[in-house]
Amino acid sequence: ALFCLLKFLLFMLDMLPRLSLYFKNPCAFRHFILSLLPPQMPALVCSEAFSTFLHKHCPVVAERFSPTPWCWGGRLQTLVCALIKSRPPVAYRNELIRTVDGGQISLDWVDNQASHGYPESSTRPTVLILPGLTGNSQQPYVLHAINQATRHGYRCVVFNNRGLGGEELLTPVTYCAANTSDLERVVTHVKGLYPHAPVLGAGVSLGGMVLLNYLARKRSESGMVAGITISVPWDAQKSSDSMEEPLNWLLFNKYLTSGLCRAVTRHRKILEKVVDVDYVLKARTIREFDERFTSLLFGYKSCTDYYRDASPDKKLPRTAVPILCLNAADDPFSPQTAFPVNIVQNLPNVALLLTAHGGHIAFLQGLFPRGESYMERLFGQFVQAVFEYPKDIEKACSIKEEQTGE
């Protein structure tokens, strides 16, 4: 009974902002009614050639996304996913690598030595996973992604952001969405270990921002054959505005800010050399945290400058590998007004898959959505398509063989 009451309250919280516009805005009411109709086909924005490839090798893109009947709102999907999503068992091999500035990065490997499809470790394809804002290798979405990839015989490595992988900070440097130097260090390390194994980058939320910024910065020298992002915030400023709406602040922003502050507290001894830790810990929103900590740590004059540099939307034309991006229109972290539809439709190598519902890193389906669903199946199919049909996807995305860095 308590669980049912919680579901009803969350449902009403998700509905109130829409109902308040009922009499004031006919357009908003029309969208509200449309949201109650049966789910529609996801919108796939990409070139005709890329679309043909995806429909052939990733059939999930042609499926109707039917969210869990009792959990269709974006906020509700996001919350429920965080509460009930299963955690497949994964045994990691941890590795610490050093950075140029004297810091260290924690990598969690799943070598998949039992792979039947790729028994030779030197050529076994590698999936490099970048978690979200306060995430690490233990997040359910990471565990499910690894489950999908290893099932097909691939190796996985999770790039934990500095200070979040259980390791100590050796220098007063953490991470941000605009800085790609740590990712470059990780890719160089992975390619050094397995120079003949293709690497695919998979970024979730903030991890997706880092991945896209890296791919745009490195272009044809990224060391990756493709990328996939889930629930990436395309415009950091618009994302911050959305997260500061009263309900979103209460349900998400406040919690994530607390997580960021806990990380600062854990590494207080070394971070207090460069920032006023007590002032940082008074932050009540992600924006306040970024103003007092992130932008200062990475040399930005203001948080606005940092957000402008971190936003990957306008950098997509500089990317040079196939990229698939999944977003939901009701994602409270990434408002649909920021989706770079006009940019993507003119690019041969980027596909933007948009669903009406799905929330943030959720996309729950079925009555009991604890296991894999739409997001996981899309991930598994795309990764397999990239590694098993490399020539086809290069042709579909108008990419020359030497551009992939292999």
Which residue has 């919350």 as its token pair?
Answer: 79
331 has catalytic annotation: yes
Would you give the DSSP letter of residue 301?
S
Catalytic residue, candidates 137, 205, 231, 295: 205
In this structure, are residues 205 and 220 in contact, taking their beta carbons and an 8 Å threshold?
no
In this structure, are residues 192 and 171 in contact, taking their beta carbons and an 8 Å threshold?
no
Tokens of 291: 């103003």
Give the whole-angstrom CA distance, residue 147 versus residue 59: 19
Catalytic residue, candidates 331, 334, 357, 373: 331
Where does residue 8 rank: exposed (0-12), middle (13-18), buried (19+ CB within 10 A)? exposed
Would you give the DSSP letter of residue 270?
H
Tell me phi and psi for residue 170, to 5 degrees: -95, -20
189 has catalytic annotation: no
Tell me phi and psi for residue 46, to 5 degrees: -175, 180
User: At a CB cut-off of 8 Å and minimum separation 6, what does 159 contact?
Assistant: 105, 107, 128, 129, 130, 131, 182, 183, 186, 207
Q: Which residues pair with 228 in a beta bridge?
A: 202, 324
57 has catalytic annotation: no
Among left, alpha and beta (phi > 0; psi -120 to 50; other), residue 49 is alpha
Q: Where are the beta strands (DSSP E) in 263-367?
A: 323-328, 350-355
* Catalytic residue set: 205, 331, 360
